[in-house]
């Protein structure tokens, strides 16, 4: 097992595929540029309503982190109002238009190839210590609080707002725990090869 601490201040900033905005890339599994990867985690700053980039062949899960929220029109069908920490899944190949509810937002994106991975994404309110086991090959923990401790077997790290821990393993059950003194929201993503 390898655990890598990823700091928000070090995420590289990239242009969107459609050129209409920018993304902070947290981590990406292979591929060339924005094509051919197995999975990708990123944080996007959305300053105005408009169209999303297409990722044909991929599945997307998006969550508003900052700002009032947005409504997505996915192939012409409107989503519920997406408020902070309310994940929403849709096809990466869909035609997607975003309407901001009240000003700019920042969102967290998981884009993955469903032919190669099964994904599970959940938001946890970490008060004191939360422990669990996972057999996922890839685990990402994103913190929205300060001083969140992530323990993965014998390795540990302290995360601040929008920092992550990326854990990769070749199988077997792993013990994980998250600890915080102030009920910090954390996103837990588990990816398992198909």
* Residues in Cβ contact with 4 at an 8 Å cutoff, skipping those fewer than 6 apart: 27, 165, 166, 167, 168
Structure confidence at residue 183 (pLDDT):
81
Structure confidence at residue 100 (pLDDT):
97
Distances (CA, A) of 49 to 21, 97, 105, 147, 159: 11, 8, 10, 34, 31
Residues 46 and 83 in one domain: yes
Task: Decide which of 96, 112, 128 is a domain's last residue.
Answer: 112
Is 4 domain-assigned? no
Residues 69 and 108 in one domain: yes
Task: Decide which of 112, 128, 158 is a domain's last residue.
Answer: 112
Structure confidence at residue 1 (pLDDT):
56
- Residue 173: CATH number of its domain: 2.60.120.10
Structure confidence at residue 126 (pLDDT):
80
Over residues 118-129, the pLDDT tens digits come to 999 999 988 777
Is 3 domain-assigned? no
Give the residues of the chain that fall short of pLDDT 50: none
Domain that holds residue 140: 117-193
Is 1 domain-assigned? no
Is 39 domain-assigned? yes
Structure confidence at residue 194 (pLDDT):
93
Structure confidence at residue 33 (pLDDT):
66
* φ, ψ at 183 (rounded to 5°): 55, 50
Over residues 139-150, the pLDDT tens digits come to 999 999 998 999
> How many domains does the chain fold into?
2
Q: How far apart are CA 65 and CA 54, in angstroms?
A: 21
Q: In this structure, are residues 190 and 120 in contact, taking their beta carbons and an 8 Å threshold?
A: yes
Is 46 domain-assigned? yes
* Residues in Cβ contact with 138 at an 8 Å cutoff, skipping those fewer than 6 apart: 29, 39, 117, 166, 167, 168, 189, 190, 191
Residues 127 and 150 in one domain: yes
């Amino acid at each position: 097992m390898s655990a890598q601490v990823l700091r928000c201040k070090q995420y590289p900033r990239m242009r969107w595929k459609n050129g209409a905005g920018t993304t902070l890339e947290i981590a990406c599994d292979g591929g060339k540029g924005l094509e051919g990867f197995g999975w990708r985690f990123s944080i996007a700053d959305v300053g105005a309503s408009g169209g999303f980039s297409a990722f044909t062949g991929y599945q997307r899960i998006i969550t508003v982190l900052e700002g009032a929220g947005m409504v997505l029109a996915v192939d012409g069908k409107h989503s519920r109002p997406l408020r902070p920490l309310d994940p929403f899944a849709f096809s990466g190949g869909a035609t997607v238009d975003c309407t901001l509810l009240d000003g700019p937002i920042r969102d967290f994106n998981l884009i993955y190839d469903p032919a190669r991975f099964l994904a599970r994404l959940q938001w946890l309110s970490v008060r004191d210590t939360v422990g669990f086991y996972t057999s996922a090959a890839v685990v990402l923990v994103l913190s929205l609080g300060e001083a969140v401790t992530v323990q993965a077997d014998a390795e540990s790290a302290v995360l601040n707002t929008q920092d992550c821990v990326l854990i990769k393993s070749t199988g077997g059950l792993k013990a994980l725990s998250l600890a915080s003194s102030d009920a910090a929201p954390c996103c837990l993503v588990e990816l398992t090869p198909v």
